[in-house]
């Protein structure tokens, strides 16, 4: 039997006043005449974001949720070109340690999904440089939490630029510029417009990167709809990882807006996938990408409890029979 664990992204719909993504624009920063005072305000916002992250993690622990995606917006303006002298980790050290200690104590899996502007395969050197800088931020946050950064950041391949093969090879070339410590942090995901499962697998196999299979994206963008024939290739990309294989699950908002994520997860669609992979692996961690976040997870678990082909473990985990 395969164990399935569900997770969700960044925000809790149940906790009030608990945003981990509070921000401050550079325009707002500039309006504060005293630069040191402005930086202190940035630090207070970041501390509040980390405090709310811990609140969410405690909510998850109380709800038996063991898998969670941290927001990439914990520290506003961390990589802004006018603030590169700001040593943001130092004033946040105790907050980061508190989060890491809680994660370890409760045996949780947490990771990141850097924003779409992180483009390893960009033809522009400044974009590549900024992408590496953003990845470094994620690395420093994980290290600050005392969490092994290996395979904790999932990314898309990047821009297609209407040249699929050249864009894939540019990723390979630019990958050589990415420091090894950051390379080890990366997982790649097939997307819904630019790079199919097969194209993403090409890079994952060539560069030894785990592939995070997004089932919804595959249905929206594929060359060969028969993903099952490539499943063993996906599993093989995880052979060196200490973490269980990970995938993304979401459902189309509508037939017309197929690529857009729905508020909740279609359980029948989800189990079409699970029934195929059952028994191929001991465990799979499924990140729910739905608009209603933890509420979508709770609703999906309600539906799963009524099924006869599962054995419930706890509030977010079950065995496939």
CATH classification of the domain holding 6: 3.20.20.150
Q: Where in the sequence is the domain holding 196, given as residue range(s)?
A: 2-320
Beta strands in the chain (DSSP E): 2-9, 67-69, 109-111, 153-156, 186-189, 211-214, 245-249, 283-288, 310-312, 317-320
Say yes or no to pLDDT of 292 above 90.
Answer: yes
Distance CA 217, CA 186 (A): 19
Residue 2: the pLDDT is 98
Beta strands in 77-175 (DSSP E): 109-111, 153-156
Encode pLDDT of 118-160 as tens digits: 999 999 999 999 999 999 999 999 999 999 999 999 999 999 9
Domain count, the chain: 1
Residue 282 CB coordination number (10 Å): 10
Residue with tokens 């941290």: 70
Confidence tier at 259 by pLDDT (50, 70, 90): confident
Mean pLDDT confidence for 29-54: 96
pTM above 0.85, yes or no: yes
Residue 245: the pLDDT is 98
**Length, in residues, of the chain:** 321
């Amino acid at each position: 039997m395969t164990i399935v664990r569900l997770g969700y992204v960044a925000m809790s719909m149940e906790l009030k006043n608990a945003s981990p993504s509070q921000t401050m624009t550079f325009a707002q920063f500039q309006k504060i005449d005293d630069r040191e005072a402005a930086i202190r305000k940035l630090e207070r916002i970041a501390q509040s974001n980390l405090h709310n992250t811990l609140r969410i993690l405690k909510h998850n622990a109380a709800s038996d949720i063991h898998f969670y995606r941290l927001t990439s917006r914990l520290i506003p303006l961390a990589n802004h070109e006018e603030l590169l002298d700001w040593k943001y980790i130092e004033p946040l050290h105790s907050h980061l340690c508190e989060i890491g200690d809680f994660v370890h104590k409760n045996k949780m899996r947490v990771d990141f999904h850097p924003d779409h502007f992180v483009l390893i395969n960009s033809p522009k050197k400044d974009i590549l440089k900024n992408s590496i800088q953003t990845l470094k931020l994620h690395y420093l946050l994980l290290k600050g939490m005392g969490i092994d950064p290996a395979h904790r950041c999932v990314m898309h391949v990047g821009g297609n630029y209407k040249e699929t093969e050249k864009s894939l090879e540019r990723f390979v070339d630019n990958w050589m510029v990415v420091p090894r410590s950051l390379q080890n942090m990366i997982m790649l995901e097939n997307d819904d417009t630019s790079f199919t499962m097969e194209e993403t697998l090409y890079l994952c196999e060539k560069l030894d990167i785990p592939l995070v299979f997004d089932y919804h994206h595959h249905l929206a963008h594929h060359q060969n709809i028969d993903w099952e024939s490539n499943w063993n290739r996906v599993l093989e990309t995880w052979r060196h990882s200490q973490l269980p294989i990970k995938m993304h699950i979401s459902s189309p908002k509508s037939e017309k807006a197929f690529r857009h994520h729905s508020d909740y997860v279609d359980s029948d669609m989800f189990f079409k996938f699970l029934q195929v992979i059952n028994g191929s692996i001991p465990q799979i961690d499924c990140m729910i990408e739905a608009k209603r976040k933890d509420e979508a997870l709770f609703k999906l678990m309600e539906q799963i409890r009524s099924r006869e082909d599962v054995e419930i473990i706890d509030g977010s985990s079950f065995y496939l029979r």
